[in-house]
Every structure is written in C-alpha cells, then in structure tokens.
Chain A
Amino acid sequence: MSTNRPSEELTSTAGAHASDVPERFVDPGLEPHPVRLADRSPEGAKRVERQVVGVLLISILASIGGIVGFFLIPVGTTLMDVRLSTLVLGLGLGLGMLGIGVAAVHWAKALMENAERVEKRKPVLSSPEVREEAVEQLTTGIEESGIARRPVLKGALVGAAALAPLPFVVPLVGGLSETWDVNKFRHTAWGDVPDGTGGRLPDGTMGRRLATDPEGRPIRAADVTIGSAFAVIPHGLPDEENYLEEKAKAVVFMTRIDPNELTVSPERRDWSYDGIIAYSKVCTHVGCPVALYEQQTHHLLCPCHQSTFDLANEAAVVFGPAKRALPQLPITVDTEGYLVARSDFHEPVGPSFWERER
C-alpha cells in the first residue's frame, strides 16, 4: 500500500482521467519564510548583536596590532625580522578586514530583515513605440546629413579616416625595434676575437678563448677531464657592449667523453679535441639553457620541455619537442694549451625562425 498523500491537483482514484490532469506541473510559489532565532526572541537578537560587535572588536584590535607592529618590528636586519614583520602586518590587515566582512555577513544573515522579495523582470527589448521613435530619429538624422545621396563624400571620408591613424601607428610599430636585421641571429661572439681574448692557433689565426662562466677564467685542455662539466662563455665577454644579448647566443656547454664512445662525422673531425666537445647551450626548441648533463648516458637534458640531446652522437635529439641537434662549437687548442674556438658556429643558434635556412 502506498502511503503517498496526493496533492490537490491530482486524484487518487484508480485510472485517473487524463482530462483532469494538467500537461505539466505548476509552480507551487515561494516557500514560507523560516523563522530565525533573532526573529523569535529579543534575547536571541541581542545575542547576535553581541556576536557581531565581538567580531568587530577583534577586527579593531587586529588593525591596531598591525600598526603597532609596523612601528616596532624592523626590517633589513635579519631574515627572521622580515618574516616577523610580514607576518604581523599580514595578520593585522587580514584579520582587520576579515572581521568587518564576517561581522557584516553575520548581521545580514541573522539579524537583518531578510524575507525574500519578488521583483518582476521587464523585457530587455525596448517597447515597439520606443523602437519606432528611435528608428525614426536615426533615419531623420542620416537623411539630414545627406550622406546617402553623396557617395563620393562617403568614400572620401572613409578613405581619410582609414589613413589618418597611420602616421601614429607606423612610427609606433616601426620604432619598436632598434634594428630589423634578422641576420643578427646568425652571428655570435665566438666569431669575434677582440684584443686579449684570443689565443693563437698553430696555423697562425686567432681564436676566441673559452672561459668559465661566471668567473671568466680561460680553460686549459688538460683540465677538462673525462666526465667533467663546464659552463662556458667567450673570454672577455662581460666587458663587451650588449653583454647580455651576446651571452644569450654565446653560452656553451663543454665536457669530455672518451673518444672511443664518440661518434664523429668526417666533416667535424677537427671540431673536437681529444674527446673534448662543446655545444651551444641554447635549446633549439624555444631557447632555454640546456645544461642537465647526465655523465653516464652522455645525455644533455633541457629542464623546460625535456628535449634530450645525445652528446656522444653530435647532440642529436633523442626525446622531446626539439627537432634539431644543438649546434656544435668547433674548438681546438692554442699554442699555450688553452681551448679556443676555431670559428663561430656553423649555423644559427637557438630556436628556429622562418628565414633560418636561407
């Protein structure tokens, strides 16, 4: 036996007649307003009022505490002081604000008259009369301007308006860069040998010495032992103009691998020196420094998007979103035993760009 009590609209006889029953349910209307403590008793209302005042008092105390903390706690002395100052000011500001918010909300919920009200929606659409008037006004206005009858005038106006911003926009955009010469991407500081930064090769030419980054000491070939890692920049680079821009293209990673484990293609035979290899550190994916060297696998990993390059195999890509191997810096030893670059890289370093292969 069902114990459902049917509501007014429905009959409970077996085989209800379809005609008695509406197509869909109708809206029962707003629920009755629940009675709150504050509505029921004046003492309840008083209690809520006390709670609200209490929270506001906490807020006041916190704000004052924050101001006191500002004056009393120094900064710039020790890390602990900075932490304490941040904490006290944060608590003061935070609790001060939070207290006001909690108090206001509690007041609204528990004390304020809060019966739900119903308001009618007006259609967003303007009434037909308003629309008609609006259209009429627009038409009259356009008619009076006469633009419809004067197509040449309209055309000239449009043309002038289209061109007028250009003397502003073109200098703005055109001046955004100090140079538009894309070929600058192809050249790095390794191709230049300012005075005092080079070493003499056996054939008499000068090559840029390799130096440690950041201290700038030239590196002897004998110091590069198997499995060692060096962060390398051109010797004397910090003294150059546009130091950071040049460094961003010239950073190099160097290590030494047992020559028996190195694969060297014929045209690159003189790019390495007895197992010492140097590669551009600028990832060919989107340009992060590639420097996570796994000594045992000879893999160089980029931490940004995990492109992995096999240094034993001319930095070929073995995993990840890079397409091209890292450019190799051709190196050799000068007459004093320091490592020098034979020349600049043989291809542009870093990420690909449209004109790269041209």
Chain B
Amino acid sequence: MSTATTSTQSDTAKALAKAGPAADYLDRRTGIGKVVREFARKVFPDHWSFMLGEVALYSFIVLVLSGFFLTMYFVPSMGHITYPEDQLPVTMQGVGMSEAFASTLRLSFEVRGGLLMRQIHHWAALLFVAAIVAHMLRVFFTGAFRKPRELNWLIGFTLLILALLAGFSGYSLPDDVLSGNGLRIADGVARSIPIIGSYASLALFGGEFPGTDIVPRLFTVHILLVPALIVALVTVHLILVVVHKHTQYPGPGRTEKNVVGYPVLPVYAAKAGGFFFVVFGFLALLGGLVSINPVWIHGPYDPTPVGAGAQPDWYMLFLEGGLRLMPGWPEFVIGGFTLSLNILIPGVVIPGLLFTTLAIWPFLEAAVTKDRGEHHVLDRPRNAPVRTAAGVSVITAFMVLNVAGANDLVATHFELSLNGITWFLRIMFFVAPVFAFWITKRICLSLQRRDRELALHGHETGRIVRMPSGQYLEVHQPLTDEERWVLVAHEADRMLEIEPPEDENGVRRPGYSADKQRLRLSRFFYEDRVEPVTPAELAAEMAAHGVHGDSEQPAIEEPGGLRDTFARAEEEPAGVTAGRDARNNPPSS
C-alpha cells in the first residue's frame, strides 16, 4: 500500500506543479491562498439531516436556471390578444386572453423544452419551500438555533417568508383562472384590513381589480426583488455557518469544542457537489414525467369562472384552510366602519402569531431555560420534551389547517359531508394541538426512560440462561462505551431555582414576583424530566449483578418508575444459598 501512496503523492505533486503558475497569478491578484488554506480541508460533519438545507439551496439554483429559460419567452403583460386559431391547445384557439397567458401557452406548446422547463420550475418551487420547512424543522427539533446561531435562525426565517412570496408571485404570473382567483382572494383579504385596506387594494392592482398592473409588478418582484434578497441572505446564512462551524449530533469523540467529519476536499465536495447533481437530476425527471400546473386546463383569467377544487400551492394551503374554517359572524359595523374579523383572524392574526412565534422561539426558549451557554452539539429531540412537544403541537395545528384547505377534495374522495368535515376540523384546530402536545411529551419522556434502561442493562438478547441453582435469567448484551455515550451525554434541563422571597432581614426582595412567574413557567416545562444515567448508578446496578437493587436513589421524579416497570416475579430458586434473600442478594448489602 505504501508504494501506491508514494506514487499517487508524486502524481499529485506533478499535477500541482503544472497548476503552479495559474495559482501564482491568481494569488498575486486576489490573495486567494489564505482562503484556500482555510477552507480546502475544513471539516464538516456528515449526517443526512444536514442535507435538507442543501436541498433548498440546490432547488434555488435550479429555479434561477429554469427561470432564466422561462424569461426568454414569457411576456409579463396583461394586454388583450386573441390566441391564434392554429396553435395548440385546441381548447384555446381563438380565445381572448392576456399576453401573459398566451406566452405561457406558446412556451408550453410551441417551444421545445418549454413545457419541461415550466414543469421543472414549478416542481423546484414546491420543493424549495418544502425543503426550507423540513430544514427548519430539523434545526428546531435538534436545538440548533441556540446560541450562537439565533441570528442565523432569524435569517432562515426571513428566507422562508421570501420563499413564500416568490412562490405566490410566481404562480400568479401566467394570469390563469386558478391563480387569478387566488389574487382575487388576496384582494378581498387586503380590503378587510382596517383603515388602509381599500387603499391597499387599489395600490396593489393599480386601480380596481383586476387592472393591468398586477402581472408586470409581480414579475419584477418575482425575478428581481425577491431573488436578490434571497441570494444576499443565503450568502450571509452560509457565511455564518462557516464562521460558527456546523453543529453535530452527540456521539463518541464529539464535543462542544470540536467538529468531527470529513474535509471539504475531496469527500465533502464530492458528496455535496454530487448531491447538487442529484437534486437537479431528480427535479428534471419530475419535470419530464409528472404534469404540474397545466394552465391551459384552467383557462385565461376571467371574473366569471372558478373551478371546483380551487386551492393555492401547498405552502399557502394553511391560509386557505383558516379562511374556510372561520365562521362568518364576527364582522361588525362600528360607527359606520366595517371590521371583518372573520377575514382578519385567519388571514392576518393567525399567520402573524405563527410567524412571530417561529421567529422569536430561540429567544423565548433562552429566557425560559436561562441557558446562556454556546451549544454546538445537537439535542436528541427526546431529550428536550417540551420543545419537541411544542413543535409537534404547532405542526398539528398547521396540518389541521392544511386539511381544511382541501376539505372539498376530502369530501369527494372519502364520501363525507363537506359541512361535517368543516365542523370537525373547527373543533380539531383547538383540541388536536393540545392532545398532540401532551402525547408527544409523554412519548419523549418514555423514550428517555427506555434509554436509561438500555444504558443500565444493555441490549436484551432474548437468550435465556438457566443457572445451576435453577434460576432463569435473560442474558443482556452490554453496551459498548460508544453506544452508551450517546445515551448519557446530555444534560437534563432542570427547573429554575430562585432565591427565597425574603432576604436575611425578612425584607421581601423586589424581583420576587417576576421570578415566581418564571418559576411557574419553568415548572411547566421541566418538572417532568428524566435524568441520564450516571456512572454511580451503573456501578450500583452491576453490583447488584443485574438484579434490581432497592438501595439506590430513584432517579425518576414520579413514583413507581424503573423498579415497578421491571419488577418481575422472582421465582424462589431451588436451593437458595444460605444467607441470600429471595432476590439472591448477598447478606452484606
């Protein structure tokens, strides 16, 4: 093997020697050597869940490339023309439509690769937002937003909002009936805003709906404003990742002070670069095989038609669902002015609450836990039960709204009453998240207890051994040090401890009531918890020779924990050795 290494090393040296003058040229003019030295062998940890952000980034690149192709043919004008009689599709021949719609049809049916590019672009847009959401969920559930990454979380949040804006503006560009009705709904929501709503509606559409300005304006937003902001923010986002270094999952050899993984050259570059081609290829295959947004089916926008099953793209579905579930009675006329809470609540208030909570979560969690340390090792979601439960709870509410947005499709496919579904989901919107929170927290705590059991007893092998004394025991495979480390490395979050209400002179201290509130909150979050196994517990466990001793301190808050769970009826073994009790304990302990 060593001869092979030397020969490859000399091959590399030869290759580098050839590159020498070019590298020298560049370095003299840009100082690039410093960057290469810093970056070329930088270590990045390797886990599939770290690639979700990459999916988003690569989808964005595909969007820009395919979008460029589309701009070569799309005409962002609402001027009226008549579709030629001899062009496909047959159902549009001679129909009056806007230039935007006509150019979209021409692109789809008359330009080779046009329909492919449109479909790649739309699939990439859906994937872009989905990947951002998946990435955000990964960051949330592993606690990667903690110090020093709070600002990066805010940047990521802004990128999510920009992605939503890009998607909405993009699918409204072809000026078809489906997206046109979406714009009409947006107009209705804008109008409902108090005081400025009517003016906002006029401003958006350059006059009364539909006007001729909305498509050209959305075009500028879609190809210039939003992409520029996305590029700028993604750059800052990635720079921060490099500066902070990527987080890593807990494991042997991984600490808060190091990064364990692969160097950029060659492995990470090959894997991440290869993944770019994988995502691109995947999107191209989707675009070539599966039809998406067939605008010729909806037809050019006109105020009369609307299709059954009128939904926006998936990332807007939660807004649609909110509008569908909200009952109509909370619209009030006060002093002659109309306040439409039936639209404002689902259209403005609920998304506002959702997005605000998302944005401030790192700061909220830090305030409750009073955690001021830097965190580079991720949490396993089960070890942060309240955070995980809160996240699942919000996802549940989000999913209820999504299902509500598709309630008419649910009605036809499952042969249910539309009105029944709506009522059911109205109730579920309040009940399901609470239930989800409770059950997720319980599951996390149970998983932590299972980890404790695993750490203390090792893997169950299913092999039963009969001792000479007649006793039956199950053989447990002990954990390796590495396996156990993952289970015990974390710190359980503990309740806050606050100072006593009165100081030594009996004077009540000023910050006490605030502290009492914090303690109440902290108790809600952390009273139920499971501590990781300590070496003392493991030693005590083994001293009792795998049989559950009753001398150790119970490590679990609630009564009847580990002991009761695993209390097996111990048979009276035949011929018990004198001095040992029924549990085979030696007399001294």
Contact present between A and B (CB < 8 A): yes
A contacts, CB < 8 Å to B:
1-7, 9-16, 18, 21-25, 27-31, 70, 73, 75-79, 82, 85-91, 93-105, 107-109, 112-114, 116-121, 123-124, 173, 176-180, 182, 184-185, 213-214, 231, 233, 242, 244-245, 247-249, 251, 281-282, 285-289, 291-292, 303-307, 317, 319-324, 350-358
Q: Report yes or no: B306 in contact with A108, Cβ–Cβ below 8 A.
A: no
Q: Which of A82, A114, A354 contacts B115 (CB 8 A)?
A: A82
Question: Can you offer 14 A-B residue contacts whose CB atoms are under 8 A?
Answer: A11-B539, A16-B536, A16-B539, A25-B485, A28-B253, A82-B108, A97-B277, A105-B270, A105-B271, A113-B266, A214-B304, A288-B306, A304-B181, A304-B310
Assembled-state Cα–Cα distance A215/B435 (Å): 55
Q: Report yes or no: B245 in contact with A121, Cβ–Cβ below 8 A.
A: yes
Assembled-state Cα–Cα distance A286/B258 (Å): 55
- Is B94 engaged at the interface, CB distance under 8 Å to the other chain? no
- Is B575 engaged at the interface, CB distance under 8 Å to the other chain? no
Which residues of the partner chain B approach A108 to less than 8 Å between Cβ atoms? 266-267, 270-271, 274
The A contact surface, by secondary structure, is loop
Which residue of A is nearest B194, CB measured? A354
Which residues of the partner chain B approach A29 to less than 8 Å between Cβ atoms? 252-253
Closest 4 CB pairs of A and B: A90-B288, A2-B546, A286-B188, A98-B281
Which residue of A is nearest B329, CB measured? A323
Which residues of the partner chain A approach B304 to less than 8 Å between Cβ atoms? 213-214, 231, 233, 247, 251, 281, 289, 291
Which residue of A is nearest B181, CB measured? A288
Q: Report yes or no: A248 in contact with B253, Cβ–Cβ below 8 A.
A: no
Assembled-state Cα–Cα distance A113/B109 (Å): 49
If A179-B202, A244-B302 touch, whether A25 touches B261 (CB-CB below 8 Å) is: no
Q: Smallest CB–CB gap between A30 and chain B, Å? A: 3
Assembled-state Cα–Cα distance A103/B535 (Å): 46
Other A-B pairs beyond A1-B546, A90-B288, 18, CB < 8 Å: A3-B475, A21-B535, A25-B534, A94-B283, A97-B277, A98-B280, A101-B277, A102-B274, A116-B260, A119-B245, A179-B207, A233-B304, A244-B303, A248-B303, A287-B187, A289-B181, A351-B343, A354-B197
Q: Report yes or no: B338 in contact with A79, Cβ–Cβ below 8 A.
A: no
Q: Smallest CB–CB gap between B584 and chain A, Å? A: 9
Which residues of the partner chain B approach A89 to less than 8 Å between Cβ atoms? 112-113, 116, 288
When each residue 479-522 of chain B gets 1 if its CB lies under 8 Å from chain A and 0 otherwise, what string results? 00110110011000000000000000000000000000000000
- Is B191 engaged at the interface, CB distance under 8 Å to the other chain? yes
- Is B7 engaged at the interface, CB distance under 8 Å to the other chain? no
- Is B376 engaged at the interface, CB distance under 8 Å to the other chain? yes
Q: Report yes or no: B195 in contact with A354, Cβ–Cβ below 8 A.
A: yes
Q: Which of B198, B478, B544 contacts A354 (CB 8 A)?
A: B198
Which residues of the partner chain A approach B207 to less than 8 Å between Cβ atoms? 177-179, 245
- Is B2 engaged at the interface, CB distance under 8 Å to the other chain? no
Which residues of the partner chain A approach B285 to less than 8 Å between Cβ atoms? 90-91, 94-95, 98
Q: Smallest CB–CB gap between B511 and chain A, Å? A: 29
- Is B19 engaged at the interface, CB distance under 8 Å to the other chain? no
Q: Report yes or no: B328 in contact with A100, Cβ–Cβ below 8 A.
A: no
Q: Smallest CB–CB gap between B290 and chain A, Å? A: 9
Assembled-state Cα–Cα distance A246/B119 (Å): 34
If A101-B278, A104-B270, A289-B306 touch, whether A9 touches B252 (CB-CB below 8 Å) is: no
Which residues of the partner chain B approach A76 to less than 8 Å between Cβ atoms? 87-88, 109-110
Q: Report yes or no: A104 in contact with B546, Cβ–Cβ below 8 A.
A: no
Query: How many interface residues does B have (CB within 8 Å)?
Result: 145
Q: Report yes or no: A291 in contact with B306, Cβ–Cβ below 8 A.
A: yes
Which residues of the partner chain B approach A82 to less than 8 Å between Cβ atoms? 88, 108-109, 115
Q: Report yes or no: B303 in contact with A353, Cβ–Cβ below 8 A.
A: no
Q: Smallest CB–CB gap between B77 and chain A, Å? A: 14
Assembled-state Cα–Cα distance A324/B188 (Å): 14
Which residues of the partner chain A approach B324 to less than 8 Å between Cβ atoms? 305-306, 320-321
Q: Report yes or no: B270 in contact with A287, Cβ–Cβ below 8 A.
A: no
Which residues of the partner chain A approach B263 to less than 8 Å between Cβ atoms? 117
Q: Report yes or no: B302 in contact with A173, Cβ–Cβ below 8 A.
A: no
Q: Which of B306, B418, B482 contacts A304 (CB 8 A)?
A: B306
Q: Report yes or no: A352 in contact with B418, Cβ–Cβ below 8 A.
A: no
- Is B560 engaged at the interface, CB distance under 8 Å to the other chain? no
If A94-B285, A102-B278, A320-B328 touch, whether A306 touches B210 (CB-CB below 8 Å) is: no
Assembled-state Cα–Cα distance A94/B120 (Å): 10
Which residues of the partner chain A approach B542 to less than 8 Å between Cβ atoms? 2, 4, 6, 10, 12, 16
Q: Which of A10, A95, A245, A355 contacts B198 (CB 8 A)?
A: A355
Assembled-state Cα–Cα distance A203/B445 (Å): 81
Q: Which of B112, B270, B343 contacts A107 (CB 8 A)?
A: B270
Assembled-state Cα–Cα distance A100/B274 (Å): 7
Assembled-state Cα–Cα distance A87/B111 (Å): 14
Q: Report yes or no: A244 in contact with B210, Cβ–Cβ below 8 A.
A: yes
Which residues of the partner chain A approach B87 to less than 8 Å between Cβ atoms? 76
Q: Smallest CB–CB gap between A215 and chain B, Å? A: 12
Q: Report yes or no: A112 in contact with B270, Cβ–Cβ below 8 A.
A: yes
If A114-B267, A324-B331, A351-B191 touch, whether A121 touches B302 (CB-CB below 8 Å) is: no
Interface positions of B from 189 to 248, Cβ below 8 Å from A: 189, 191-199, 201-211, 243-245
Which residues of the partner chain A approach B189 to less than 8 Å between Cβ atoms? 286
Q: Which of A22, A112, A242 contacts B267 (CB 8 A)?
A: A112
Q: Report yes or no: B310 in contact with A303, Cβ–Cβ below 8 A.
A: yes
Q: Report yes or no: B113 in contact with A14, Cβ–Cβ below 8 A.
A: no
Which residues of the partner chain B approach A104 to less than 8 Å between Cβ atoms? 270-271, 273-274, 277
When each residue 550-584 of chain B gets 1 if its CB lies under 8 Å from chain A and 0 otherwise, what string results? 00000000000000000000000000000000000
Q: Smallest CB–CB gap between B243 and chain A, Å? A: 7
Q: Report yes or no: B211 in contact with A245, Cβ–Cβ below 8 A.
A: yes
- Is B473 engaged at the interface, CB distance under 8 Å to the other chain? yes
- Is B287 engaged at the interface, CB distance under 8 Å to the other chain? yes
